[in-house]
Amino acid sequence: MKIVKIARAGQSAEGFLEGERVHLVGGWHDAAPEDAPFTLTRHAEAAWPALRQASTQSVALDEVSLAVPLDPGARLLCVGMNYRDHLGEIKRDEAENPVIFTRFAETLSAHGEPIQRPRASQHFDFEGEIAVVIGKGGRHIPLETALDHVSGYTCFMDGSLRDYQRHSLTAGKNFHRSGAMGPWIVAASAMGQGDITLRTRLNDAQVQSSHSGLMIFGIAESIAYISRWIALRPGDVIATGTPGGVGSRREPPLWMKPGDRIEVEVGGVGVLANPVVDEA
């Protein structure tokens, strides 16, 4: 199953994507997508089939635009330096625990929308990532059952301003519309049992390629660690880190610029694609 958040003519909705139609849950809201609820992410995956069966209205996908699949009340937590090849290229030692930072919802664009290179910097780098959506919250979640708390997976592009990141990680990771998430969320049960592949392409050229089995801290470990210090809530998102190949460590550096197209492909989910523009 795939769940989506959509927008049309100043209204927002959510539902299940099947083929080229979205089966709505809860009807339309008179709100911008960033303000509208995404109630499906507040439910564990086990509740999705019943919610789908209750849907009585649908709309063609080509009649709407996809929105960032995020609930306004959700927290967005990111794992940094979580692949050894990335640690090697940035010349950092392996951490004893996951390195966690946060992003804000307003820093993200939806699939197909532009991401912005800010006025403040041209050092605009790409980081393709696998993101997980929490479907069942909790505190002190045991490692052995941590994956039971995941309802779905999506693609994430953690656009980073490297010069700002040197003096403020929060600033470097939180410029307005510098990242992206989507296009949709795929049910965890549909992802299979093997490693999840991750690829990033810039202007159709592959710049990153890895899989979840190469993470230093796996998805379950990150969930268990984060839940030691906060109670995870349904709808929260964890972006699990980027592999090697980032633009800042190439010679010469490969920065994203206006006119570029960045794509993040997660196996079993699909492709998140965004054009790059300059901030107005």
* pLDDT (0 to 100) of residue 193: 86
> pLDDT above 70 covers what percent of the chain?
100
pLDDT at 276 > cutoff 90: yes
- Find the mean pLDDT for residues 133-154: 98
> Which two three-digit tokens encode residue 244?
């090697």
DSSP state of 57: -
pTM: 0.97
> Which two three-digit tokens encode residue 168?
């403020």
| Summary mean pLDDT of the chain | 97
Q: Residue 171's pLDDT band (boundaries 50, 70, 90)?
A: very high
* pLDDT (0 to 100) of residue 273: 98
Q: Residue 192's pLDDT band (boundaries 50, 70, 90)?
A: confident
- Closest Cα partner for 14 from 53, 44, 47, 57? 57
* pLDDT (0 to 100) of residue 91: 86
- Find the mean pLDDT for residues 75-91: 94
Query: For 37-63, how does the pLDDT look when each residue is reduced to its tens digit (9 = 90+)?
Result: 999 999 999 999 999 999 999 999 999
- Find the mean pLDDT for residues 186-194: 94
Q: Residue 98's pLDDT band (boundaries 50, 70, 90)?
A: very high
Residue with tokens 């052995």: 144
* pLDDT (0 to 100) of residue 206: 98
- Find the mean pLDDT for residues 227-253: 97
Query: For 2-21, how does the pLDDT look when each residue is reduced to its tens digit (9 = 90+)?
Result: 999 999 999 999 999 999 99
Count CA atoms within 13 Å of residue 117 on its CB side: 20
| Amino acid, res. 277 | V
* pLDDT (0 to 100) of residue 211: 97
164: Cβ contacts below 8 Å, ≥ 6 apart: 120, 121, 123, 171, 172, 175
CA gap 217, 155 in Å, rounded: 18
Give the angle 216-220-222 at the CA atoms, nearest 5°: 60
Q: Residue 224's pLDDT band (boundaries 50, 70, 90)?
A: very high
Chain length of the chain: 280
C-alpha distance from residue 206 to each of 198, 202, 210, 262 (Å): 11, 6, 11, 10
CA gap 129, 127 in Å, rounded: 6
Is residue 133 within 8 Å of residue 77, measured between CB atoms?
Answer: no
* CA-based R_g, the chain, Å: 18
Handedness of CA 238, 239, 243, 248 (dihedral sign): negative
pLDDT at 92 > cutoff 90: no
CB neighbour burial string for 193-223, b if at least 16 within 10 angstroms, e if fewer:
eeebbbbbbbeeeebbebbbebbbbbbbbbb
- Find the mean pLDDT for residues 186-197: 95
Query: For 155-167, how does the pLDDT look when each residue is reduced to its tens digit (9 = 90+)?
Result: 999 999 999 999 9
